[in-house]
């Protein structure tokens, strides 16, 4: 299995380039089949559900990708979110 990049795109959201950043991030996340975590179509299963671990891994992957593609001041605001959909 190939390693996933922790920084999927080369530009950083800085407050002035949202349209470009969001287009690239949306394309990147959709290309990995994970857009359902952003759209809310993939609901978090209960912690006792066998699918919970996979859901948590994918959710945290997306949160990491987002955090790694924004400026530090924006990234600091992401700590209050638990899900990729919230972020």
pLDDT at 80 over 90: yes
Q: How confident is residue 5, by pLDDT bands cut at 50, 70 and 90? A: low
Q: Is the four-CA dihedral 71, 74, 80, 82 of positive or negative sign?
A: negative
- Residue 73: per-residue pLDDT: 95
Short-list 15, 51, 3, 4, CA closest to 43? 51
Reported pTM: 0.89
d(CA 50, CA 78): 28
Mean pLDDT of 18-32: 96
CA 46, 60, 8 angle in degrees (round to 5)? 150
């Amino acid at each position: 299995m190939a390693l996933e990049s922790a920084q999927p795109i080369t530009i950083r959201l800085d407050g002035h380039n949202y349209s470009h950043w969001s287009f690239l991030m949306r394309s990147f996340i959709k290309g990995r089949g994970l857009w359902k975590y952003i759209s809310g179509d993939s609901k978090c299963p209960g912690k006792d559900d066998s699918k919970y671990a996979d859901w948590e891994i994918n959710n945290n992957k997306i949160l990491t990708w987002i955090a790694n593609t924004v400026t530090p001041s924006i990234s600091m605001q992401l700590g209050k979110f638990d899900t990729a959909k919230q972020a």
